[in-house]
Amino acid sequence: ICYTEDYVLPSEYYGPLKTLLLKSPDVQPISASAAYILGEICRDKNDAVLPLVRLLLHHDRLVPFATAVAELDLKDTQDANTIFRGNSLATRCLDEMMKIVGGHYLKVTLKPILDEICESSKSCEIDPIKLKEGDNVENNKENLRYYVDKLFSTIVKSSMSCPTVMCDIFYSLRQMATQRFPNDPHVQYSAVSSFVFLRFFAVAVVSPHTFHLRPHHPDAQTIRTLTLISKTIQTLGSWGSLSKSKSSFKESFMCEFFKMFQEEGYIIAVKK
């Protein structure tokens, strides 16, 4: 058994620290700010990031801070295809922000479809090695395509439900990415889709109970279905792979399945 003992002082003792942290978005360079330094020196960065994001959100200071640390991230990014793919302070802050403010957005967007998937128990296995006796891979492929299409369509039509804070930050990311890579016409989309698809929707799809979208952990078959859907949604949202007209899947069966989605209509939908 391991115990952790924390000492909590009366709130007035934290006043100077709070003031210092809230001034962070105005500090130049941002790497010299109290919030940035706190996020970097903590052994477990999650211990710093979650309360920091909550504090900045509460006082309407998160957007300028997140924009500043994201700009710092971009300066260190040499390849547009790897934009915001690391585990930096910027990506951690945005991940936590999306979890905090995006709960209702996920519920209205994903829950009806996830309920259908979890309650129907349709087989969607397309890996020939994992097929059960009596399974028809073509039927399974159609089941999987139906779910992916329905989920993807709902996501790309959900922009009006996206929280204002997320919209404000994504707008800034798009502008900064375009300035950083002016010769890449796709980077303005991948800068946003790397968060919206890869770090938000796809994560919630594969683990709906973690985001309070389902009451219980799904059974093994449903987990497998959600995993296949999540993989496809991630790749659909990755403008880099779509722009090259090929998927990034290692499995041949996923590459074959993804050919169904390599149409201009899907690419246009991601851009919107």
Across the chain, what does the average pLDDT equal? 91
Residue bearing tokens 């499995």:
251
Q: Are residues 236 and 160 in the same domain?
A: yes
Q: Are residues 113 and 235 in the same domain?
A: yes
Pick the last residue of a domain from 101, 122, 145. Answer: 101
Structure tokens that stand for 115 in this block = 């309920």
Pick the last residue of a domain from 70, 101, 132. Answer: 101
Structure tokens that stand for 255 in this block = 């590459």
* Distance between CA atoms of residues 265 and 272, nearest Å: 11
Q: Are residues 143 and 235 in the same domain?
A: yes
pLDDT at 239: 54
CATH number for the domain spanning 93: value is 1.10.506.10
Residue 200 near residue 193, CB atoms below 8 Å: no
pLDDT at 261: 86
pTM of the model: 0.87
* Distance between CA atoms of residues 117 and 143, nearest Å: 10
Q: Are residues 241 and 259 in the same domain?
A: yes
pLDDT at 241: 45
Domain that holds residue 208: 102-272
Q: Are residues 126 and 227 in the same domain?
A: yes
Q: Are residues 2 and 68 in the same domain?
A: yes
Here the contacts of 34-42 (C-beta below 8 Å, separation 24 or greater) are 35/65, 36/69, 36/89, 39/89, 39/92, 39/93, 40/89
pLDDT at 238: 78
Share of the chain above pLDDT 90, in %: 69
Q: Are residues 224 and 256 in the same domain?
A: yes
Pick the last residue of a domain from 101, 125, 142. Answer: 101
* Distance between CA atoms of residues 268 and 272, nearest Å: 7
Q: What is the number of domains present in the chain?
A: 2
Q: Are residues 252 and 165 in the same domain?
A: yes
Q: pLDDT tens digits, residue range 36-60?
A: 999 989 888 888 999 999 999 999 9
Q: Does residue 163 surpass a pLDDT of 80? A: yes
pLDDT at 240: 47
Q: Are residues 94 and 108 in the same domain?
A: no
Q: What is the mean pLDDT of residues 110-127?
A: 94
Q: Which residue has the higher pLDDT, 134 or 18?
A: 18
Q: Are residues 89 and 196 in the same domain?
A: no
Q: Does residue 246 surpass a pLDDT of 70? A: no
